[in-house]
Structure 1
Amino acid sequence: MQINLNDLIAPIFYKLHHQVKNHEYTHYWLRGGRGSTKSSYISIEIIIGMMKNSNYNAIVFRKVGHYLKESVFEQLIWAIDKLNVSNFWKISLSPLGLTYKPTGQRIIFRGCDDPKKSKSVKLRKGYFAYCWYEELDEFTGMNEIDTLNQSILRGGDKFWVFYSFNPPKSKNAWVNYEATNPRPDKIVHTSCYLDVPQNWLGPQFLIEAETCKIQNYKKYLHEFIGKAIGTGGNVFENVEEKTITDEMINGFKTIRHGIDFGFAVDAFAYVQGAYDGKYYDLYLFDEVYQIKLTNELAAKKIKPKLMRYEYSVIMADSAEPKSIVTLRNLGLNVYGAKKGPDSVNYGMKWLQSLNHIYIDRQKCPNTYKEFVNYEYERNKDGEFISAYPDKNNHTIDACRYAFINDMPVRNKKSFW
């Protein structure tokens, strides 16, 4: 069966495909929003390139190794299937790997959450001609990438390094800055869903994009067009101050409650709110926030806030089972929020993805202060990176716990 690459690669990538084929550059930075098909394009290039040269191998990195199987691994298997060469490839799940059967060439997958995983990578034959960094913005900075490249890009004369990412909101994020930092062996390519044949994406994707465009244009520009819409390092660009009346509260179907424990240095934080799943809006309208607050005093402060509700379940940090038991003995229905790999990032990205986070500043002054002032972590060079600092985020953590049942779960074995 003859495969037409035009059926697999969007027109926006035609020129780039020839540049890759002719090895015009070594470093290929592909940025774009949802549905830009940049990852699909990269996977096609790697499979084709390896099958044309028996000396080429590939290594694929993600910051968190837990996500390799459901993202880049599946993406490369998709490319193998689409190219109609499945019979020539061996798939290994433990450890993750793909092997080209005729020659033994390998595609290796590594997570960088554990530095040991990226060391001592050996090949029996050939060298790593292809290297792919997926979700580049999740890495800590160019120093980390340079260190990995220096250990991988050796033993050969030609290399293709792919970097794929959705630009972070902040224009000051390190990955946005590096994308504008020129070097002669580097090219930056930009794409979005508008550059892709609509039938590839399906009608539902287009509905979601247009709905987002109408409801939250800034979010649309960031998530679907792939623009860095922020000027600083603020994590939450969707926070709005709003007076939330008793009439509004009575109209919410379900009220959520969350607790983040703290005492000597970190504050004890309780938040109360509601989620409107139809419009992807969050409403926060009550809090308890205090340093050196014992569990007994916390229970006394929280109980009056629950009187208006017939039954209330409070989700709390499961890392403190003793405090949970104490609060339950004091009459509060408190349960520990189950955590999984990278649950913090998942919860934070869900909060960021909402159209609006409405906070009643009069009722929740500390919640409002934390949300509007919370910034991304910085690296040693003072550049913003896509990491969330574990400080001044007590009400934010309480929100993550409170709304865990409203978050879409991508993998039932992961997260909550």
Structure 2
Amino acid sequence: MEYPVSAICMRKVQNTIKKSVFEQIKAATIVMGVSHLFKFVPSNLEITYLPRGNKIYFAGADDPEKLKSIKDAEYPVSILWIEELAEFKTEDEVTTIENSVLREELVGKITSESARKKAYTFDYSFYYSYNPPKRKQSWLNKKYESVFIDANTFVDHSTYLDNPHLSKRFIEEAENVKAKKPRKYDWEYMGKAIGSGVVPFDNLTFRKITNDELRSFDNIVQGIDWGYGPDPYCFLRLHYDKTRRRLFLLDEHYGQKISNREAAEWIVKKGYQTIMIIADSAEPKSISEMKTYGVRIKGAVKGPGSVEFGEKWLDDLEEIVIDYERTPFAAKEFEDIDYQTDSNGDQKARLEDKDNHAIDTTRYATEPLRKKGMSVLT
């Protein structure tokens, strides 16, 4: 109504449009007392704002070719609402929609009559609504239930407790579920990703580690996971608080195609070469080469069951503190990792063997703590 732009409302499947988002928009105009200003055409899945002629289009994502044909020559489509975003299996599907529908440069072109005095220019707006998937490691929860939120993104979380228009029967049912099935209540009514089973590393704390804290840390351990080809190299420096059983991730060197020489130079420049580094023992040549650069390093002992034991030891800690500015790659890995599943979808007692280089590095670095009580081998 305010801006001379058109909008598109979408869901994954076309045949769910008419009885959901179309009716929701129509109901909104009634609540606002402006329904007489709009023309509703369910057969074409279009709503037109009569005073100007700009429209709200509706489409399903099950026919990508139809999306390419949506074009409004006079009023560019610059507002996108995707309802039930969790119906999309991958983020790539959503990105394809954005790129197909919202492509014209708008900056400086669309200015509302009432806003001209404020020199405010309208730009694209995307709205995604959904109930969080139960599984914490779904792409949707990873993207929006994360410490890594894009600067141009605002995430709002609301529940039925914020809705003043619900019936008493709905609230009574919610309270019944809360009393009898608290996990079901947490997911269906409170929007929490409760998972289908045990979630790894529920002991993570993402916060800033201050310089004063850093100076007080004296129980330092370090590790390396060697990169090869597309797999990244990872070095981590950590502090272990043995009294409170807390692990702090302090610094990282992470990237692809980092040579042993470059890795050693970085370690020496940081002054980390004097404390023993426990590295993946699968590359003895790399370990030998690092020693020639003055780095104290040796291979992890490993052994049968060492991976599962190391992961369980980390999971059993009281707290793993991660500063996502100091160790951003490690933060993302720990936040996103999930357990492996079998052919039936049941969880195994081992983490996924992908995007876990910082986690492997942490296991190597802390191996002396598990093998020799609480003292660090130096």
Q: TM-score, normalised by structure 1?
A: 0.43
Larger radius of gyration: 2
User: Which structure has the higher relative contact order (CA within 8 Å, separation 6+)?
Assistant: 1
